[in-house]
Structure 1
């Protein structure tokens, strides 16, 4: 139903991103010169929350930062985007840290140190049960402990959306509450394997077969993100491809998070899955034309690629 404005709660990670740019990734034992080295806000949960808020959603966040110098820059864009941080706690130790390498083609490699995100377990989430239960949509990723993931799903009274990235072992029943499950093809294969299916064979058979395998495994709906090839939306009734605008990528860091957050923002106002994905691919395409994650996301009124 259109004209609804469901509140969104993101239960997830907050990181400080340390980004370096290289012409090419070094081989084993090799040293290459790099540039950058600055700290910017990141974390899959925070990225998706920012993307959703910038697309007009009312967003609350459940998560943790450390009591170190990285906590302030890690939450700066969450604050400026208007995300409610009342359920974000400071815990002893370091804020989560991601070390990101971006090569000359804009592709990235990311290593994540959980830091304070490891505190977001069942007990932590339980203290903010009302924040989760009061949401029309609860959005989850894979950068918090599995017990926290399960507690968030159990507390949810609204729609549960999951982007299990990275793919970690989580409770099967909690994972299958996802509607939709968002994943790229690699993640989809790992999720199928986790559920006891032949993930490698499903991925090898192509996106449609992979999405169908996930639906057959018990998911109410699935959105496969396919990079420059767009996305694929699948339900028990069938599947539909969603094309992405053609752009020249500068940095793909956080593009999948931009897609996820934008998609949830449109679901929150009543869009169907395909319409939400059509908007989200344009937001994702916009994001890859800028540097970094949250800093590259479009704000209100931005002209998106492919926008009519």
Structure 2
């Protein structure tokens, strides 16, 4: 049987424009293109886990608008179980994304229906959580819901992953004990730890602090510099595969989904990290969020240059 991954989180319609560079405050730029693409960190991670070999269920909320139906259909097309996706009156979540010629992006999120994902909704789908091998959460839904989902995962004895994105402040102290794998990027690790993260050495210091706060294990993703794994006993640096980046949107989500799928299937932590890194590297060679996420066969066929 395939490994079972449950993703609790956001579904957003991404409104994506490309421009030569990111605009400065008060500035208007002429864009090069515009597209609407299914996204949201939760949905992206669900798609990644599904394409990379896991059986996936998504727990979230969409609006009663046209975007909501498109978001649900995009997951159904990936054979993702959508029975735990609730439809609420009003608008679905959206993300406004600008991508520059250096493949860097700036994103503004409007929660919309994602704000209706409450602890009570999580409780309604307790049977979905019970069937999971791995549970993944992020921070694009209400904090109370994230905290409740982490606690439920811990009580059920599941492997719990928190991708603290987007993060601009420390997490509630009582969350850490429920987290098996905390997976921030550099800026998120800095926000959570209160320490600068701008090198491998400073990442080690931040990871040590996060483990001291109670997280089981920490993986800090470092973009082109790879990732750092810390478990309280030591550190391991995993260099990133070298590729030509086109668009970094959803690279972090691809890593999280790939790591979860590999871990749930019985791969070791090191194997799962390398698997997630190859998947993320492939994703940045393609434009868009969910359209950029590779399949299991893509990852298996990848050969580093």
Fold-level match, TM-score > 0.5?
Answer: yes
Per-residue CA shift, 1:12-64, capped at 9, x if unaligned? Answer: 00000000000012222221110322211000000000000000101111001
Determine the structure 2 residue equivalent to 1:159. 159
2:169 is the alignment partner of 1:173:
no
Shift of 1:201: 4.9
Per-residue CA shift, 1:246-273, capped at 9, x if unaligned? Answer: 1111000010000000000001011122
Asked if structure 2 preserves the Cα contact closer than 8 Å seen for 1:53 and 1:83, the reply is yes
**TM-score of the aligned structures, taking structure 1 as reference length:** 0.92
Determine the structure 1 residue equivalent to 2:111. 114
Determine the structure 1 residue equivalent to 2:295. 299
Shift of 1:206: 1.4
Shift of 1:300: 3.3
Of the three residues 36, 44, 48, the one matched with 2:45 is 48
Name the stretch that deviates more: 124-133 or 226-235.
124-133
**SS at 2:82's partner residue?**
strand
Of the three residues 70, 76, 80, the one matched with 2:77 is 80
Determine the structure 1 residue equivalent to 2:233. 237
Shift of 1:222: 0.6
**Partner Cα distance (2:124, 2:171) in 1:** 20
**SS at 1:37's partner residue?**
strand
**Partner Cα distance (1:209, 1:202) in 2:** 8
Q: CA 1:202 to 1:38, structure 2 compared with 1: closer, same or farther past 3 Å?
A: closer
Q: CA 1:201 to 1:231, structure 2 compared with 1: closer, same or farther past 3 Å?
A: closer
**SS at 1:176's partner residue?**
helix
CA RMSD of aligned residues (A): 1.8
Count of equivalent residues: 299
Determine the structure 1 residue equivalent to 2:98. 101
Mapping of residues 94-243 of structure 1, within 5 Å: 94-156=91-153, 157=156, 158-167=158-167, 171-192=172-193, 199-201=194-196, 206-243=202-239
| Structure 2 residue runs without a partner (length 5+) | none
Of the three residues 18, 21, 25, the one matched with 2:22 is 25
Name the stretch that deviates more: 289-298 or 206-215.
206-215
Shift of 1:106: 0.5
**Partner Cα distance (2:175, 2:133) in 1:** 17
**TM-score of the aligned structures, taking structure 2 as reference length:** 0.93
